[in-house]
A and B are shown apart, each in its own frame.
Chain A
Amino acid sequence: QLQLQESGPGLVKPSETLSLTCSVSGGSISSGNYYWGWIRQPPGKGLDWIGSISYYGTTNFNSSLKSRVTLSVDTSKNQFSLKLSSVTAADTAVYYCASSRLFWGAFDIWGQGTMVTVSS
């Protein structure tokens, strides 16, 4: 059974870049059966998809964030990463990584989430 764990700074300054990593255990990130995604949840609000990536690098993004988001996969470390540039207070949220088996949006396994606050 796959397990996912997010890591990264809990505090980011406005205008800087938010960087998070999701470590995958219990399976290989190179498996062609999986896609890897990021979802966020502002405090007290609902879920918002950020983007997803395949292990070979194909990406899809939420159109509202596309210009600021970079996704990547590191097969040697069995990790995938999110970078969100030019952050503002509106980017304060719990960030989740999730895996999707067979279909891009399946999101069958989620990490525990990590809170990121944007503040000076």
Chain B
Amino acid sequence: DVVMTQSPLSLPVTLGQPASISCRSSQSLVYSDGNTYLNWFQQRPGQSPRRLIYEVSKRDSGVPDRFSGSGSGTDFTLKISRVEAEDVAAYYCMQYTHWPLTFGGGTKVEIK
């Protein structure tokens, strides 16, 4: 199975400041078609997960442009350019290049 490792586990951030979450896979997520199938999800307290980013860097409809995804191969990053109060949540990366589908352990973003 592909192991997805996120860091940090917890990320205290000052409002208005940037935040960055790392996600590393135990093997390359490049599929045979040349695409890389990696999602980022946001899960606010008490809510279902919501997809923010798919295929590494494509933002879902309605997702604020302060969220961006980047990376390639085995190293990926989710960035929030300026953290707002509503961004307090757990964030998960997930790969769907290989079976079985696997999630990272999650990163909790909190306000300092």
Interface residues of A (CB under 8 A from B): 39, 46-49, 52, 60-63, 96, 103-108, 110-113
B71 adjacent to chain A (CB < 8 Å) = no
Number of interface residues of B (CB under 8 A): 24
Residue of B whose beta carbon sits closest to that of A63: B100
The answer to whether A47 touches B96 (Cβ under 8 A) is no
A interface, by DSSP: helix, strand, loop or mixed? Answer: loop
Among B14-69, those with CB < 8 Å from A are 37, 39, 41, 43, 48-51, 54, 60
The answer to whether B96 touches A105 (Cβ under 8 A) is yes
The answer to whether A105 touches B101 (Cβ under 8 A) is yes
User: Nearest-CB distance from A82 to chain B (Å)?
Assistant: 15
Q: Which residues of A contact B94 (CB under 8 A)?
A: 47, 49, 105, 107
The answer to whether A106 touches B54 (Cβ under 8 A) is yes
Q: Which residues of B contact A105 (CB under 8 A)?
A: 37, 39, 94-96, 101
User: Nearest-CB distance from B58 to chain A (Å)?
Assistant: 11
Chosen A-B contacts, 27 in total, with CB atoms closer than 8 Å, are A39-B49, A46-B90, A46-B92, A46-B103, A46-B106, A47-B41, A47-B49, A47-B94, A47-B106, A61-B100, A62-B101, A96-B48, A103-B37, A103-B96, A104-B101, A105-B37, A105-B39, A105-B94, A105-B95, A105-B101, A106-B54, A107-B39, A107-B94, A110-B49, A111-B48, A112-B48, A113-B48
Counted as pairs of residues, one from A and one from B, with CB atoms less than 8 Å apart, the total is 59
User: Nearest-CB distance from B93 to chain A (Å)?
Assistant: 10
Q: Which residues of B contact A112 (CB under 8 A)?
A: 48
A60, A61, A62, A106: the one within 8 Å of B39 (CB): A106
Interface residues of B (CB under 8 A from A): 1, 37, 39, 41, 43, 48-51, 54, 60, 90, 92, 94-96, 99-106
B39, B48, B96, B104: the one within 8 Å of A46 (CB): B104
Q: Which residues of A contact B96 (CB under 8 A)?
A: 103-106
**Alpha-carbon gap, A46 to B92, bound state (A):** 8
**Alpha-carbon gap, A112 to B103, bound state (A):** 19
Q: Which residues of A contact B95 (CB under 8 A)?
A: 105
**Alpha-carbon gap, A49 to B60, bound state (A):** 21
